[in-house]
Amino acid sequence: MSNDRFLLIKAFGWGFWADMDHLLGQLLAAELSDRIPIVYWGTNSLYSDTIGTNAFELYYEPVSAFSINHLLRPDYTFYPPIWNATNIMIEDLDKTTYMYRNLGDMMNSDANVVVSDVHFFARPIMEFMKKDHWAYGMTPLQIFRCLLNKYFKLKPDILMEIDAFYNTFLKDSAPVLAVHIRGTDKVQEVANLASLNKRYGKEIKRYLDLYEVKKIFFMTDTKTILDKYGRLYGDMLVSTDSNRGVDKDTAVQLDNYKNRRRKGIEVLIDTYLAARCDYFIGNGYSNVSFAVNRLKDWPESHITLFYNTLRQDTKFAIKRTKVELMRRRLTLQEHSLNYPELYGEV
C-alpha cells in the first residue's frame, strides 16, 4: 500500500468566499494531518465554467504541485468510504447529512485520500494543533490571514484588473474608506439585516469626520443600495461595474452568468480592492466582509464589522429553530398523507 497522503478539498457549493472559508479551514486541516492539499471545485461550484474545469484554478494558482488526476488510482484508499477513484469528481448530494464527515475521523484517517466537501469552522480544527505548528498560540483570524498569504496567488489577469481599477480610481485619493453592505438573499440568512444596514450611515460619518476620508469604495450586491448611497455621497463614491441583484430572489452568486468565471472575478476584484483601502466597514455575517478582514492585518481602529448583539442572535436562533421544527412537522404530515402505506395505514 502506498504511503501517499492527500486531502482533496472539494467545493462546498456556496458563495465564493464561503467556499474559500471552507478551503482555508481544510488547508489548515491538511497541515495538521500531514496531508498534501489538492483543491478541486467541480461542477457543484457556483463558479465552475465547464465540466472539465477546476473552478478554483480559474482564479488562483494551484495550492500544491498535485491535481485531482493524481488521485485517480485504483490502489488508493479513500475516506469517507463512499469515495473511490471513479467517483471523486462527482458531487455527493447527501453530504449535508454529514454522514462519515466527522472531523476527528477525517483527521485521524489512514486513507491515502481524505475527501473534504463539508464546512468546518476553524475552532474545532484547531483542537488538533500541536505545539510545534507555526500557528500555535494564534487566533483563528491570525491563522487564516497567514494561510491566505501562504497559499493563494491570484491569476495574473485578475491581479492586473485589480491594479488597473486601483490606479485609475483610488490610488491618488487616499485615505479611502471601503464599505460593504449586503442585501438580496442575505435577508434570509441574517435575521435583522435591515437593522444592521441602518447602522452604516452613522459609522461612515464617524470615519469621514475622524480620518478625513477622501473617497468611499462601495461594495454591494444590491442595485437599490448602491443607488441610495450614490445619491447620498455623490462623486465621493466609487464602485466597480459588477452585476447586482435587486431582491432576495436575484442573488448574484446564484445568477447564471454567460461567462461564469466573470462572476468570481467580480467578487474577487471588489474584495481585494477593499483590502487595499485604508479603512473598512462591513457586515460580520458576510464572508466577503470577513475576507477583507483576513486579507490585511487591519489596525483595530481601522475596521468595523457589524454584528447583532449576542442576546439578539440567541433570540433569532430560537425563533429560527421553532420555524424549522414546524416546517419538519408539516413535511412529515404531508408525507404521511401522501404515502399512508409507509405509516401503517392501508
The minimum distance between CB 114 and other proteins, in angstroms, equals 23
Does residue 104 bind other proteins (CB under 8 A)?
no
Which 113-152 residues touch other proteins, going by CB under 8 A? Answer: 121-123, 126, 130-142, 145-146
CA-wise closest residue to 263 among 244, 247, 250, 282: 244
H/E run at residue 337: helix 310-338
Which residue shows C-alpha cell 442576546? 311
Strands (E), 168-267: 176-181, 215-220, 237-238
Q: Binding other proteins by CB under 8 A: which of 74, 299, 341, 346?
A: 299
> Quick one: cell of 342?
409507509
> Quick one: cell of 212?
478625513
Choose the stretch contacting other proteins; rule: CB under 8 A; options: 55-63, 80-88, 163-171, 298-306. Answer: 298-306
H/E run at residue 282: strand 279-283
> Quick one: cell of 280?
473598512
Q: How far apart are CA 142 and CA 137, in angstroms?
A: 10
Strands (E), 65-127: 78-79, 113-116
Does residue 313 bind other proteins (CB under 8 A)?
yes
Nearer to other proteins, 38 or 292 (CB): 292
The minimum distance between CB 137 and other proteins, in angstroms, equals 4
The minimum distance between CB 219 and other proteins, in angstroms, equals 17
Nearer to other proteins, 25 or 42 (CB): 25
Q: How far apart are CA 24 and CA 9, in angstroms?
A: 10
> In the stretch 39-78, what mask flags binding to other proteins with x, by CB under 8 A?
----------------------------------------
Question: Which residues face 217 on adjacent strands?
Answer: 178, 238
Using CB atoms within 10 Å of the CB of residue 1, give its burial: 0 to 12 exposed, 13 to 18 middle, 19+ buried: exposed
Q: How far apart are CA 214 and CA 177, in angstroms?
A: 8
Reported residue count of the chain is 346
Which 23-42 residues touch other proteins, going by CB under 8 A? Answer: none
Which 147-176 residues touch other proteins, going by CB under 8 A? Answer: 175
Which residue shows C-alpha cell 471545485? 41
Does residue 214 bind other proteins (CB under 8 A)?
no
Does residue 318 bind other proteins (CB under 8 A)?
no
The minimum distance between CB 32 and other proteins, in angstroms, equals 13
The minimum distance between CB 124 and other proteins, in angstroms, equals 10
The minimum distance between CB 290 and other proteins, in angstroms, equals 4
- Cβ-proximal residues to 170 (8 Å cutoff; 6+ apart), any chain: 176, 215, 217, 238, 273, 276, 277
Nearer to other proteins, 109 or 287 (CB): 287
Does residue 307 bind other proteins (CB under 8 A)?
yes
Nearer to other proteins, 266 or 278 (CB): 278
Number of residues that bind other proteins (CB under 8 A): 35
List of residues contacting other proteins (CB under 8 A): 21, 121-123, 126, 130-142, 145-146, 175, 211, 284-285, 287, 290, 297, 299, 301-302, 305, 307-308, 310, 313
